[in-house]
Amino acid sequence: GPKVLQIPSHQIIDMGQMVTLNCDPVSNHLYFYWYKQILGQQMEFLVNFYNGKVMEKSKLFKDQFSVERPDGSYFTLKIQPTALEDSAVYFCASSFRDRGPGNQAPLFGEGTRLSVL
Amino acid sequence: QQKVQQSPESLTVSEGAMASLNCTFSDGTSNNFRWYRQHSAKGLEVLVSIFSDGEKEEGRFTAHLNRANLHVSLHIREPQPSDSAVYLCAVSMNSNYNVLYFGSGTKLTVEP
């Protein structure tokens, strides 16, 4: 079936550096999401993106975070600069639509484990 | 803020015995409920979605929703060892379908 691909699976970076996490969503999907899961904790919503814009973001989506999807390519999450507390697994998700009867469940990628040293 | 809690934290069942997982939520306007599962170091696989009170079956997975009691459950019929995984309840609200609130998961182990 359709899959959301995330690249890389693991990224190690020094505190203060910039990192970009890449997500290749399902080809006909229109809504894109990032979630963050710190080891041993619940998965938490960061941001969702539609039609080139951030639709909603949580308080976890700090000023150092940004998202974009230039020209229908990868959907990216950029963190600049990184901090120790950014260490987590970041999951990308996509869906065709966001509401309506039987609206489709977002499909999730396998996550990128980010380690900030 | 929506609070989603799952119980038990871990559950061990024998192959073929029914497995039942629970999820409670705090916001009564919630109307989208999903059950996902996550195998170790893998992505999330959606199992069943339910939007109104009652029951929804997808293969061996059945979700029961009782919004008055703020409760949704998942029942796994004839579980196999390959069903061993972490099961996540995800809830979204009428005000914003896009935001999923996750529980902390139930780790299911199915013994042969």
pLDDT in tens, chain A (117 residues): 888 999 999 999 999 999 999 999 998 898 999 999 998 889 999 999 999 999 999 999 999 999 999 877 899 999 999 999 999 999 999 988 766 555 678 899 999 999 999
Q: Does A1 touch chain B (CB under 8 A)?
A: no
Q: Please judge whether B100 and A45 are an interchain contact, meaning their C-beta atoms are less than 8 angstroms apart.
A: yes
Tell me if A21 sits within 8 A of A11, measured CB to CB.
yes
CA A31, CA B106: separation in Å to the nearest integer? 28
Q: Does B33 touch chain A (CB under 8 A)?
A: no
pLDDT attached to residue B20: 98
Among A1, A42, A44, A49, smallest CA distance to A23 is for A49
Comparing CB atoms, the residue among B42, B46, B103 nearest residue A42 is B103
pLDDT attached to residue B72: 98
CA angle A56, A90, A86 (to 5 degrees): 90
pLDDT attached to residue A100: 57
Give chain B positions within 8 Å (CB) of A8: none
pLDDT attached to residue A93: 95
Q: Does A101 touch chain B (CB under 8 A)?
A: yes
Q: Please judge whether A110 and B103 are an interchain contact, meaning their C-beta atoms are less than 8 angstroms apart.
A: no
Give chain B positions within 8 Å (CB) of A105: 34, 36, 46, 49
Show the tokens assigned to A75: 């959907």
Place of tokens 């409920």: B33
pLDDT, averaged across chain B: 93
pLDDT attached to residue A46: 97
Nearest chain B CA: its distance from A70 CA (Å): 21
Query: A 51-70 residues with CB below 8 A of B?
Result: 55-56, 58
Report in angstroms the alpha-carbon separations of B60 from A38, B9, B64, B76: 31, 21, 13, 6
Q: Please judge whether A42 and B96 are an interchain contact, meaning their C-beta atoms are less than 8 angstroms apart.
A: no
Q: Please judge whether A108 and B101 are an interchain contact, meaning their C-beta atoms are less than 8 angstroms apart.
A: no
Three-class SS state of A70: helix
Q: Which residues of chain B have pLDDT under 50?
A: none
